[in-house]
Structure 1
Amino acid sequence: MKLRCIIVDDSAMQRIAIARLVNNHPNLAIVGEYSNAIEAKNCLKNNDIDLIFLDVEMPIINGFDLLESLDSPPQVILITGNADYALKAFDYDVTDYLYKPITLTRFEASIKRAVARYEQIHKLNEDEEFIFVKSNLRQRKVVLNDINWVEALGDYIKLVTNEGNVVILSTMKSFDQKLPKDKFLRIHKSYIVNLEKVQKFNSKNVEVAGRQVPLSRNKKTELAEALYNV
């Protein structure tokens, strides 16, 4: 198992030093190295990253500013030459912090902590059913129980979740075939609902996670029966 990681540091020498440690570690794989937070943020948008080696003191946008700008940051190991940042690091739930110059022993202890945290997170999620969908030219994991409903958008469909929407190129028919029939029901030509998220319904609408979606007249009986069996 390898954690996909990036290095973000404005010092080329420091990036080389960290990259050498990463490349020699069996549980790490470098995806990219960046000299500033803006380039790093673009990488995080387009790649699944497990771990960031992040320098705190960078020009324009520092390490803490970068973390504040991310909706759901991956694990972070802060790199700093200033011991005063250690306390602040806990406010950002970082996995660890390393003082410059980085020693091999301290580096390996940090990675051991990151691997343990990764395994704990994924063990909690391993019982959840999920599918992979292609969104924005990359594969994305979607936990089925996170989907509130699926909505048709022309040649695309939108997966509505509490964390935001995921738009993918697909027909409703083909996506419906991927979903477990005991948990999802197509209630309208343009809507599929997660039966566990249905709160109430009438002859025209279904309330799902606090929102109203339309119900086809000929689907009302089927929905009632499906909800009875959930």
Structure 2
Amino acid sequence: MKDRTFAFIKTDKKLVKLFFRDITVIKGLGNYVEINTLSHKKYIYYKSLKELIETLPDEFMRVHNSYIVNLTNIESFEDNQLVCQDQKIAVAKSYKDCLITALNTMML
């Protein structure tokens, strides 16, 4: 199961299968997270960002105290802001260098 491409989350009293490639942004809400997908669906899941980032694949990166993004779904990055599906996300100074390094490995 090390190379799995999906995970199940418990939300609204049911288990929902989420493919990692479909996740765009994960927003921290205290002990909960809001998971946004390419199909514009939002799921509320009981887990902290700190716990979640440890279980996600390498294409996910924390860019702010309140946000994790899927690097494969970033549309643009300019002036300390990422754009993922028309959603602008501020990149914290402490995460910027790591993000730039990761994006440089994906450049042509």
TM over 0.5: yes
For residues 187 and 222 of structure 1, what CA distance do their matches in structure 2 show? 9
Q: Shift in Å at residue 162 of structure 1? A: 2.5
Structure with the larger strand share: 2
1:70 corresponding residue in structure 2: none
1:218 corresponding residue in structure 2: 94
* Bigger Cα Rg: 1
State how 1:129-148 maps to structure 2 within 5 Å: 129-148=5-24
1:161 corresponding residue in structure 2: 37
Task: State the TM-score, normalizing by the size of structure 1.
Answer: 0.42
Task: State the TM-score, normalizing by the size of structure 2.
Answer: 0.86
1:178 corresponding residue in structure 2: 55
State how 1:1-230 maps to structure 2 within 5 Å: 129-163=5-39, 164-181=41-58, 183-230=59-106
1:7 corresponding residue in structure 2: none
**Which consecutive residues of structure 2, in runs of 5 or more, have no partner in the other structure?**
none
Tell me the matched-pair count.
103
Structure with the larger helix share: 1
> Percent identity among equivalent residues?
26
Higher relative contact order (CA 8 A, sep 6+): 2
**Which consecutive residues of structure 1, in runs of 5 or more, have no partner in the other structure?**
1-126
The change in CA–CA distance for 1:145 and 1:128 in structure 2 (over 3 A counts) is: farther
For residues 105 and 29 of structure 2, what CA distance do their matches in structure 1 show? 30
